[in-house]
Amino acid sequence: MKSSRTRGAKFSSKAPTGITGFDEICGGGLPRGSTTLLVGGPGSGKTIFALQFATHGAQYCKEPAIFVAFEENSKRIVANAESFGWKIAELGPGKLFFLDAQPMRDLIHSGTFDLGGMLAALEAQIKKMGARRIVFDALDIVLALLPDAAAKRREVYRLHDWLLERELTGLITSKASEEENNSIAQESFGFMQFMVDCAVLLNHTVVQGVSQRNLRVQKYRGTSFDENQSPFVIGSRGMEVAVARTSSRVHVSVTNERVSSGVERLDTMLGGGYYRGASVLITGFPGTAKTTLSGAFAAAACKRGERTMFVSCDSDGAEVVRNLASVGIGLNRYVKNGCLRMVSGRTIIGSAETFLVRVKTLAMEHRARCIVIDPVSTLSSSGNELTAYGVAERLIDWSKALGTTLVCTSLLDEVSSQPASSSQLQISKMADTWIHLNYLVQAGERNRGMSIIKSRGTAHSNQVRELILSDVGVTVTDAYTAGGEVLMGTLRWEKESAERGAKDVAEVAGRVKRVRLDAEEAELEVRLKALQVELEAKQVEKALLVSTTESREGVLSQGRSRMRELRGADTAIPRQK
């Protein structure tokens, strides 16, 4: 007990498994120095789980491990694990030791026996390599050899006590019977589930032909854990358990940065574009230009130099590139320079969960900042109805956590009478921006209408606009409303031409009036000039008049003086003024 306490102080109480998601579910890993029971049906991934646990310990936790294989030959187990990129061969038997304990086929048993031999052998090996983890894979195989339930029980207790005494982190895997009735396996493992500190159930079901794997932590003494069933997949790097958003992942950095939708006028309608890291949903019937709109987004992202991934589930990636080129969205050069990665969603087969894992892996590989999934409604294809919602939720959580801008398109069922009410996956609830594309049939025409149903945190236009695809790109036109209807197509054109005509008439009238006014102005100016000239003439005349009068008077007075002088008259002549 003393040693266990010091160990507890030295290490954490959890032994990490290295399985993505699983360690999060149970708060760090399996109980250290204690036993875990892993139960699952055939092909449910027990051996992979166990091997990943052992390998991870040996490779990253300085905990050498022993793997006791009761069912499968260790060579085959290692060979199978090579595909996950776990370098088991490099670890060597000093760190990860395999013990092949498959009962020989011709083994004859007579009377009772026990596992003492194996435990003694293991004891020696543990001492030799300082093992801290031990896996008993498919213990049910050896228990099946025991004659009765009492003997099975005794051996399980022996094993459990042995593990506890040595403070080994033990993992025992066992098959669960397909039917949940009282079979032999159920009997011997029923009590085992009570005995161990941690029990994990693996479940592999097929729903409408699609394989669905689930994992559930049934019990975990002394710790809180996620009690729900979590889907998992066996991916390219081992097991991956899907975890729902946990509190540790909530604080996502939120930014005010906008990214272009690829359509200039749509950006304006959204008040600048989508938010960086937002999840955008584009819904619509087939052929409403969902792919085109998402392609425009991808092209804009690549133009900014952002690495982008386009997952196309309906058609092949190359086809999408070709088709989008016809509407002026050139993705080819970005594919060539490696900025854009086209992924054909059809190559991702299996459950929605597999799809998500694959998308995540590819996006990580590509270091994508923008992702387009066209259409995301593929997730809910038959067999995935139950899981698709969870997968979509995790897809959005995941992209948010990374700050990746996600554009998803979603096909609406043509039959559905209320297209705008909900999208199949209920992504519409989670998406930040929801753009709905629709056909509007007016005057014998089918035109594409676009409306922004919601856009969190951004002011956005409330109007239904017409989306026009041409060989130079995607544009959104001005909306004309008449009698409460948005006019589209020819009706819009008619309205536009009518307005253009009216404008022309008004312009001509204005021009005529302007000319007339100009003329009047000119006339007045001329008159003004003439009057001014006349005024000047009068002024000159007046000045002349004054000066002549003065000079005449001067001449007169001078004349009088001169006359007086000439006459020699007396001086008593009154003085002139």
Partner 1 sequence: MTRCAPYRFRLYVAGDAQNSAQALANLKVICREHLRDRHTIEVVDVFREPERALADGIFMTPTLVRLSPHPVRRIVGTLSQSQPVLHALGLGSPSV
271 and 459 Cβ atoms separated by less than 8 Å: yes
Closer Cβ to partner 1, 122 or 392, answer by number: 122
Pick the binder of partner 1 from 82, 114, 257, 494 (CB under 8 A).
114
| Contacting residues for 341 by C-beta, under 8 A, at least 6 apart | 307, 308, 309, 310, 335, 362, 366, 368
Closer Cβ to partner 1, 116 or 305, answer by number: 116
Is 572 exposed, middle or buried, given 0-12, 13-18 or 19+ CB atoms closer than 10 A? Answer: exposed
Other C-beta atoms lying within 10 Å of the C-beta of residue 449: 19
Q: What Å distances lie between residue 541 and 282, 531, 536, 544, 555, CA to CA?
A: 89, 15, 9, 5, 21
107 binding partner 1? (CB under 8 A): yes
Please state the closest distance from residue 100 (CB atom) to partner 1, in A: 7
- Token couple for 136: 């008993």
Please state the closest distance from residue 62 (CB atom) to partner 1, in A: 24
Pick the binder of partner 1 from 120, 524, 544, 569 (CB under 8 A).
120
Closer Cβ to partner 1, 118 or 185, answer by number: 118
Map residue 492 onto helix, strand or coil. Answer: helix
109 binding partner 1? (CB under 8 A): yes
Please state the closest distance from residue 123 (CB atom) to partner 1, in A: 6
Paired sense of beta strands 370-374 and 405-411, if any:
parallel
| Contacting residues for 263 by C-beta, under 8 A, at least 6 apart | 293, 296, 473, 474, 475, 476
Q: What Å distances lie between residue 444 and 210, 469, 484, 498, 569, CA to CA?
A: 43, 19, 18, 20, 125
244 and 92 Cβ atoms separated by less than 8 Å: no
Paired sense of beta strands 340-344 and 370-374, if any:
unpaired
541 phi/psi in degrees, rounded to 5? -60, -40
99 binding partner 1? (CB under 8 A): yes
Please state the closest distance from residue 117 (CB atom) to partner 1, in A: 4
Closest CA to 433 of 308, 292, 269, 548: 269
Closer Cβ to partner 1, 117 or 271, answer by number: 117
Pick the binder of partner 1 from 7, 11, 41, 125 (CB under 8 A).
125
Closer Cβ to partner 1, 155 or 393, answer by number: 155
Pick the binder of partner 1 from 37, 50, 88, 101 (CB under 8 A).
101
Closest CA to 273 of 458, 462, 468: 458
Q: Which stretch binds partner 1 (CB under 8 A): 79-87, 122-130, 235-243, 526-534?
A: 122-130
Pick the binder of partner 1 from 39, 115, 139, 270 (CB under 8 A).
115
Closer Cβ to partner 1, 54 or 266, answer by number: 54
Q: Which residues pair with 342 in a beta bridge?
A: 310
Q: Which stretch binds partner 1 (CB under 8 A): 100-108, 225-233, 345-353, 428-436?
A: 100-108
- Chain centroid, CA 206 distance in Å: 28
List the end-to-end C-alpha distance of the chain, in Å, as a whole number. Answer: 149
Q: Which residues pair with 470 in a beta bridge?
A: 473
Please state the closest distance from residue 186 (CB atom) to partner 1, in A: 23
76 binding partner 1? (CB under 8 A): no
504 phi/psi in degrees, rounded to 5? -60, -45
Please state the closest distance from residue 165 (CB atom) to partner 1, in A: 15
Convert residues 128-157 into a mask of x (bound to partner 1 by CB under 8 A) and - (unbound): --------------x--x------------
Q: What is the largest CA-CA distance in the chain?
A: 193
Please state the closest distance from residue 106 (CB atom) to partner 1, in A: 7
Q: Which stretch binds partner 1 (CB under 8 A): 56-64, 120-128, 343-351, 491-499?
A: 120-128
Closer Cβ to partner 1, 112 or 547, answer by number: 112
Map residue 488 onto helix, strand or coil. Answer: coil
Q: Which stretch binds partner 1 (CB under 8 A): 31-39, 97-105, 203-211, 391-399?
A: 97-105
Q: Which stretch binds partner 1 (CB under 8 A): 3-11, 47-55, 118-126, 267-275?
A: 118-126
Pick the binder of partner 1 from 112, 205, 246, 561 (CB under 8 A).
112
Closest CA to 342 of 400, 295, 392: 295
474 and 291 Cβ atoms separated by less than 8 Å: no
Please state the closest distance from residue 149 (CB atom) to partner 1, in A: 17
Please state the closest distance from residue 216 (CB atom) to partner 1, in A: 31
Q: Looking up tokens 């939720």, which residue turns up?
A: 393
111 binding partner 1? (CB under 8 A): yes
165 binding partner 1? (CB under 8 A): no
Closer Cβ to partner 1, 145 or 524, answer by number: 145
Q: Which stretch binds partner 1 (CB under 8 A): 35-43, 93-101, 297-305, 479-487?
A: 93-101
110 binding partner 1? (CB under 8 A): yes
- Token couple for 554: 């001067």
**Nearest-angstrom CA–CA distance, 66 and 252:** 40
**What is the contact surface with partner 1 in residues (CB under 8 A)?**
99-101, 103-104, 106-118, 120-125, 142, 145
